[in-house]
């Protein structure tokens, strides 16, 4: 929400609700700008927890819920009012008890993979923020249904080590600002912190280390009694972890879990482990296989308060990946599904990339009941409009929405966001905007990563094309394009990756007749003259997708310019759409030329391919 929208929101609804002082135990009427035709009666009913029940009678609307349930119910009523929907009886509970935003904010104020400006709460190696803005952030998160905010980057470097030490008073003050909005903090911790600060080891089985963490957790929870837990990135991309001591990840996670358990805390352990120093010549190692190889043998070994947080795909937040097989193969482990609202590989909040469809796809593939927590890397920053791109707020809204309703219809979620954000946009224009958003992933996919061909992106920055950028590097991300063929054979006849899936999926992905086109080159290595189901050759399909995706990005830029959006949003969106079109042309020409040089195949329609 930018200032203008915020003003509109406040004019329409009054100051949005908070828990605590605004909502007491006694029955009372809601006076928060509700303009319905009958009063809203609030009844505190703690048994409903974060959930709520709405009952409509001729005299009144009654809203029951626990402290934050009342808060979410109030937002629901305001949302219905804003959408012009009539209020009916509702019984609602969140789908996931933990709806966690992971902020990759560093204490120097930078945000790793942040595309919306600097950190909202860190600057100059300390907490530094505008309390009003943080309160507004609380409202924003509550209105989206998000209830946990992990405030620091998973890559924990000094001085962030001090967040569980000398900075605790500041952490406590920050937590107090967000508490009224039902938002609890979480902290990322460094597995080796005892070693870095006090002891000569961080071995999870060493009694001194265990005592160190227990004592540390006691201090942390004394300062922030409702802290949700710790988040850990261990043995991943050069971060320290239990492997250094010959211990496995259950031993590492359980040691920390034991320290936080007496306080009701959870220990969120990220499953992002792979060899980031691979020799590219070594085709016997395949990065997508690694998480399963590390964690599958540990299923059932984790303590009850450990949550294993798994990225949706086996690589790393790519435009298109199959669901990580780990999410289907750990029945005796509590799992969180991790998404990335920060558009690291998906256009960096310059190119449009709406995520509701991706969320639904991954939740459906995982089976919503198989996971117990819902997490995402944040896309927030200090920019006036919070998200860099004025439309990128959709992804936060949708993330929260799917945390409550894993089966929500993506187009409906997008339409809600558009109506809530741009209430004054004429209906036909809103439909145009939603159409752009609904197609945005497919557009971006066609010019950057068609047929599951990921990682042709510029190394490090992860914006713009560089087909061979990662090809001869250590990160395990190869497409292995040659003169004759492209892709990696990950089937059971190839490197066996598909065997990590349940048998029906192994069969689906193994068979060229059933493997979805979008994932064809993720699972198969194919010659350029391979004939696709639609009759086109593989190379022609690659050319076509790049030409079509780019042409659509160019048209999108024109359409956006024609929308009657608030002035600032329009200017931002138009400028970003211009940059997107430029990016798309670059991708089209670089990738098409790359394959033209290998294959020598002309475009069937005679469009320019460069040598």
Report the catalytic residues. Answer: 237, 316, 344
Which residues, 6 or more positions from 51, have their beta carbon under 8 angstroms from its beta carbon? 65, 66, 69, 72, 91, 92, 93, 94
Residue 375 binding ligand GCU, by CB under 6 A: no
Is residue 190 part of the contact set for ligand GCU (CB under 6 A)? Answer: no
Residues 222-251 that bind ligand GCU (CB under 6 A): 233, 237
Q: What is the smallest separation between the CB atom of 470 and ligand GCU, expressed in angstroms?
A: 12
Q: Are 466 and 586 in contact (CB under 8 A)?
A: no
d(CA 237, CA 475): 9
- The residue length of the chain stands at 611
256 binds ligand GCU (CB under 6 A): no
Judged by beta carbon, residue 110 or residue 155, the one nearer ligand GCU is 155
- Residues ≥6 apart with Cβ < 8 Å to 591: 447, 456, 465, 467, 542, 546
Cα torsion 528, 533, 536, 539 to 10°: value is -20
Residue 112 is a binding residue for ligand GCU (CB under 6 A): yes
Site string for ligand GCU, 312-341 (x = CB under 6 A): ----x-------------------------
With H, G, I as helix, E, B as strand and everything else as coil, classify residue 499. helix
Q: Which is nearer to ligand GCU, 306 or 310 (CB)?
A: 310
Q: What is the 3-state secondary structure (H, E, C) of 190-253?
A: CCCHHHHHCCCCCCCCCHHHHHHHHHHHHHHHHHCCCCCEEEECCCCCCCCCHHHHCCCHHHHH
Smallest distance from ligand GCU to CB 249, Å: 15
Three-class SS state of 189: strand
Of 463 and 509, which has the nearer Cβ to ligand GCU? 463
- 322 vs 228: CA distance, rounded Å: 30
Cα–Cα distances in Å, from 376 out to 120, 187, 411?
A: 17, 15, 20
Nearer CB in complex with ligand GCU: 272/522: 272
- Of the pair 463, 587, the CB lying nearest ligand GCU is at 463
The CB-of-462 to ligand GCU minimum distance in angstroms stands at 7
Query: In the complex, what is the shortest distance from the CB of residue 233 to ligand GCU, in angstroms, rounded to a whole number?
Result: 5
For 397, residues 6+ apart whose C-beta sits below 8 A from its C-beta are 144, 413, 416, 417, 420
Q: C-beta of 190: minimal distance to ligand GCU in Å?
A: 13
Count of residues that bind ligand GCU according to CB under 6 A: 9
Q: Which helix or strand (DSSP H or E) is residue 56 part of?
A: strand 52-56
Q: Is 272 in the site for ligand GCU (CB under 6 A)?
A: yes
154 contacts ligand GCU (rule: CB under 6 A):
yes
Toward ligand GCU, which CB reaches closer, 16 or 252? 252
Q: In the set 6, 41, 79, 113, which binds ligand GCU (CB under 6 A)? A: 113
Nearer to ligand GCU by C-beta: 272 or 417?
272
What spatial distance separates the first Cα and last Cα of the chain, rounded to whole Å?
A: 45
- How near is the Cβ of 114 to ligand GCU at its closest, in Å? 10
- Between the CA of residue 135 and those of 15, 81, 118, 363, 432, what are the distances in Å? 12, 23, 18, 31, 33
**What is the closest distance, in whole angstroms, from the C-beta atom of residue 178 to ligand GCU in the complex?**
24
Q: What does the binding site for ligand GCU look like in residue numbers (CB under 6 A)?
A: 112-113, 154-155, 233, 237, 272, 316, 344
């Amino acid at each position: 929400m930018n200032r203008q929208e915020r003003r509109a929101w406040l004019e329409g609804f009054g100051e949005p609700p908070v828990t605590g002082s605004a909502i007491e135990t006694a029955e009372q009427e809601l006076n928060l700008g509700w303009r319905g035709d009958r009063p809203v009666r609030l009844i505190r009913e703690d048994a409903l927890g974060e959930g709520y029940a709405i009952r409509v009678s001729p005299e009144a609307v009654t809203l029951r819920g626990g402290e934050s349930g009342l808060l979410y119910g109030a937002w629901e009523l305001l949302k219905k009012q804003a959408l012009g929907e009539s209020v009916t009886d509702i019984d609602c509970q969140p789908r996931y008890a933990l709806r966690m935003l992971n902020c990759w904010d560093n204490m120097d104020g930078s945000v790793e993979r942040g595309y919306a400006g600097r950190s909202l709460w860190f600057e100059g190696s300390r907490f530094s923020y505008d309390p009003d803005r943080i309160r507004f952030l609380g409202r924003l998160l509550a209105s989206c249904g998000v209830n946990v905010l992990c405030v620091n980057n998973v890559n924990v470097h000094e001085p962030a080590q001090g967040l569980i030490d000398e900075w605790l008073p500041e952490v406590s003050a920050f937590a107090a600002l967000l508490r009224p909005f039902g938002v609890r903090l979480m902290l990322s911790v460094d597995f080796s912190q005892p070693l870095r600060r006090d002891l000569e080891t961080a071995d999870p089985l060493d009694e001194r280390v265990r005592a160190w963490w227990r004592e540390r957790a006691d201090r942390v929870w004394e300062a922030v009694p409702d802290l949700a837990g710790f988040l850990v990135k261990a043995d991943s991309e050069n971060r320290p972890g239990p492997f250094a001591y010959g211990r496995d990840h259950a031993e590492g996670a359980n040691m920390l879990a034991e320290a936080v358990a007496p306080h009701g805390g959870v220990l969120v352990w990220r499953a992002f482990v792979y060899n980031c120093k691979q020799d590219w010549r070594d085709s016997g190692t395949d990065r997508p296989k690694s998480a399963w190889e590390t964690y599958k043998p540990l299923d059932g070994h984790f303590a009850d308060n450990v949550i294993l947080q798994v990225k949706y795909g086996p690589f790393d937040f790519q435009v298109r990946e199959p669901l990580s097989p780990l999410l289907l193969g750990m029945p005796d482990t509590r799992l969180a599904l991790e998404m990335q609202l920060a558009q690291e590989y998906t256009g960096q909040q310059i190119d449009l990339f709406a995520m509701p469809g991706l969320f639904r796809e991954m939740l459906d593939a995982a089976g919503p009941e198989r996971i117990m927590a819902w997490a995402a890397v944040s896309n927030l920053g200090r920019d006036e409009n919070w998200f860099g791109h004025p439309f990128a707020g959709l992804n936060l809204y949708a993330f929260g929405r799917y945390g409550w309703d894993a089966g929500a219809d993506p187009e409906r979620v997008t339409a809600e966001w558009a109506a809530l954000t741009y209430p004054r946009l004429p209906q036909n224009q809103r439909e145009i905007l939603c159409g752009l958003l609904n197609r945005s992933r497919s557009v971006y996919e066609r010019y950057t990563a068609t047929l599951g061909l990921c990682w042709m992106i510029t190394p490090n920055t992860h914006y713009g094309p560089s087909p061979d950028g990662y090809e001869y590097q250590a990160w395990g991300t190869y497409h292995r394009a040659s003169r004759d063929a492209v892709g990696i054979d990950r089937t059971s006849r190839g490197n066996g990756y598909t065997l990590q899936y349940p048998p029906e999926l192994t069969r689906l992905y193994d068979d060229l007749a059933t493997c979805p086109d979008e994932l064809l080159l993720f699972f198969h290595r194919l010659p350029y003259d391979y004939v696709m189901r639609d009759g086109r050759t593989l190379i022609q399909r690659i050319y076509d997708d790049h030409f079509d995706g780019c042409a659509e990005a160019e048209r999108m830029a024109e359409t956006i310019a024609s929308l009657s959006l608030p002035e600032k949003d329009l200017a931002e969106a138009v400028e970003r759409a211009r940059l997107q079109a430029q990016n798309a042309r670059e991708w089209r020409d670089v990738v098409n030329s790359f394959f033209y040089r290998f294959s020598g195949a002309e475009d069937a329609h005679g469009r320019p391919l460069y040598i």
